[in-house]
Amino acid sequence: MFGTTDPLEIIPEVIKRGEIQITAEQRREMQERKHKDLVNRITRNAVNPQMDDAPHPPERIESALEETDFRIDPMEPVEAQIDDALEALRPVIPIRFDTVTVAAHLPADYAGSGQAKIREFGDLQSEEWQPDGSWIGVVEFPAGMQNDFYDLVNEVSSGEAETRIVKDEDDINTR
């Protein structure tokens, strides 16, 4: 069948062209796990462009996916299926992947410990320690995570921090 009996030549062919046999239960579990991962990734990264780029809740993504013909492939990585899922979702809900840049100003009482948690949240674009001991950090992260970011900022500052969405470089300097 392979033109040889040498296992070192046969094994790569089996790996390239073979199929893995799994049970229906294993397939269902893999699909459920990947479906949840897909919904989570879309929720974290996508926004509704018709609602001032507000994040879509997971329930809306779930519901919209159910309305489409999209089916997760349990054998494909989730990353490879995101674009197809978005294409299926677009006729059902307005959706766009985006990032947002937010400047956070922490008062001096919360700056030390709070800035460490904020800088872990996303990609720290810039930071500045103020003469009064307060901290200003500009963080970029997936737009769907805005509510999580604001919750974190409020938690580390007991609600005393200020935030502002940064549209361009001038926004940073006009807090």
Range 98-173: architecture per CATH: 2-Layer Sandwich (3.30)
pLDDT at 9 over 50: yes
More confident residue, 7 or 80: 80
Classify the C-alpha dihedral 76-79-84-86 as positive or negative.
Answer: positive
pLDDT level of residue 44 (50, 70, 90 thresholds)? confident
pLDDT surpassing 90 at residue 147: no
The predicted structure's pLDDT at residue 174: 39
Average the pLDDT over 101-122 and give the result.
Answer: 94
Which of these, 156, 153, 175, 154, lies nearest to 166 by C-alpha position? 175
Tokens 């089996």 — which residue? 14
Q: What are the structural domain ranges in the chain?
A: 7-96, 98-173
| pLDDT range class, residue 32, cuts 50, 70, 90 | very high
> Higher pLDDT residue, 172 or 149?
149
Q: What is the pLDDT of residue 129?
A: 96
Both tokens of residue 168?
Answer: 């361009």
Q: Which residue has the higher pLDDT, 21 or 173?
A: 21
User: Quick one: pLDDT at residue 64?
Assistant: 94
Helix (H) or strand (E) holding 34: helix 24-45
pLDDT of 111 > 60? The answer is yes
Query: What is the pLDDT at residue 151?
Result: 95
| β-strand pairing of 99-106 with 162-165 | antiparallel
Mean pLDDT score, 53-80: 90
Architecture of domain 7-96: Orthogonal Bundle (1.10)
Amino acid 175: pLDDT: 39
- Indicate the average pLDDT of the chain: 88
pLDDT band at residue 37, thresholds of 50, 70 and 90? very high
Q: Is the CA virtual torsion 57, 62, 67, 68 positive or negative? A: positive
Instruction: Report the pLDDT value the prediction gives residue 169, as an integer from 0 to 100.
Output: 58
> For residues 114 and 106, what is the distance between their CA atoms, to the nearest angstrom?
7
Q: Name every residue whose Cβ is closer than 8 Å to that of residue 119 and which is 6 or more positions away in sequence.
A: 127, 137, 139
**Tokens standing for residue 106:** 């922490």
User: Up-side HSE of residue 22: CA atoms within 13 Å toward CB?
Assistant: 12
